[in-house]
Amino acid sequence: MRDQVSLQSPLASWPDALEGVLLAQGEPASKVIVIRETASTQDVARAQGEVGTVVAAWRQTGGRGRLGRAWLDTGEEGVAVSFVVARDTPVRLATASACATAMAIERTVQRASGAVPALSIKWPNDILSVGKKLAGILVEQDGRAATIGIGINVLQRQFPADLAARAISLCQCGHHVDRLQLILSLCSTLHECLAMDDEALRGCYQSRDCLRGRNARFSTPEGVVEGVVRSVDPAQGLEVATSAGTRFLSPSTTSMLLHEERFEGGREL
């Protein structure tokens, strides 16, 4: 793997490249923080609390996922980046960030090789390739702003045994990309998706939705909800047709239940 890492853009080039993209977008109060190693880009970004801040790490050692889960330390092989954005509803931020992550991966791979990867979104925060988790998203809000953390598996050739059946990297899919180029694309696609109206965002999500039409079970604060997934509405949430009627589920409190995911803790894929 060292050969692929050595072909990546050096860390010293990251700040200027990120600042250039943000400046071109006119991001408010843009501030770029690039760190060689940190426990969590989310924690650094939330401490700044300034809308427009982007925190990128060469290596993240203690990242976290939703509902108290931990994100596996991927050394120098993954993307770990957080964006501080204006507050919005949880469902809109989740929908926009999922679409942006999928679009960034698709565009970066296409620019690198001409191929277009087949990706799907699993509500609310997973980007899948061939049914395995390629990327994850964490949205957190406080009184000042929202922080969107994105982790993408890029260069890994293998995963620990307990994750190998559920996780995948771009390298394992046959796609070799520069991590910096992927982060730069994320800056652009997140800006684009956050500016979309609900109709455009709904269409962007539904074209990649892997749950629509499927019967699924979800863990919610009110208990397990089971039914057929109809759609994702950027204004209301995940629409599920249950035996008791239609339910709209929020991304901030909902987790899909699969036979291999019925636990509260553990590691993210």
pLDDT digits (tens, 9 = 90+) for 113-146: 999 899 999 988 899 999 999 999 999 998 889 9
Is 90 exceeded by the pLDDT of residue 147? yes
Of 155-164, 181-190, 193-202, the least confident: 155-164
Is 90 exceeded by the pLDDT of residue 6? no
pLDDT of residue 1: 44
Average pLDDT over residues 211-222: 92
Provide the pLDDT confidence category of residue 29 given band limits of 50, 70 and 90: low
CB 123 within 8 A of CB 238: yes
Of 92-96, 194-198, 209-213, 253-257, the least confident: 253-257
Top mean pLDDT of 75-84, 188-197, 218-227 is at 188-197
Going along the chain from its start, the domains and CATH numbers come out as 2-206 (3.30.930.10), 215-257 (2.30.30)
Average pLDDT over residues 37-52: 91
| d(C-alpha 185, C-alpha 170), whole Å | 15
pLDDT of residue 144: 82
pLDDT of residue 124: 83
Query: What percentage of the chain exceeds 70 in pLDDT?
Result: 87
Is 90 exceeded by the pLDDT of residue 112? yes
pLDDT of residue 256: 84
Is 70 exceeded by the pLDDT of residue 92? yes
pLDDT of residue 64: 66
Provide the pLDDT confidence category of residue 63 given band limits of 50, 70 and 90: low
Average pLDDT over residues 15-40: 88
| d(C-alpha 246, C-alpha 228), whole Å | 10
pLDDT of residue 267: 39
Choose between 40 and 7: higher pLDDT.
Answer: 40
